[in-house]
A = this chain, B = another copy of it.
């Protein structure tokens, strides 16, 4: 089954990419935006067919490779 790992910078960590996107959106006419934060999403087709086991495997992958736990948080969900 497919899982989706979402990796975002932790709250409080400066996000220059998000800031740049927010500025560009404002220039394009989307005014009044609050915080904009950018992150990564990785979709992985795992061999596990049980959703709980697949999500647990995704969490192992995030801790081993996909997220830098010093500055990033991650969330794993079964993909639709």
Contacts and interface: CB of A to CB of B under 8 A. Distances in A.
Contacts of A44: 22, 25, 33-36
Identical copies in the complex = 2
A32 B48 CA distance: 9
Interface in A16-47: 18, 21-22, 24-25, 28, 30, 32-47
B46 A34 contact: yes
A8 B37 CA distance: 17
A33 B46 contact: yes
Interface string A36-77: 111111111111000000000100110011100000000000
Contact of A43 (B25, B39, B40): B39
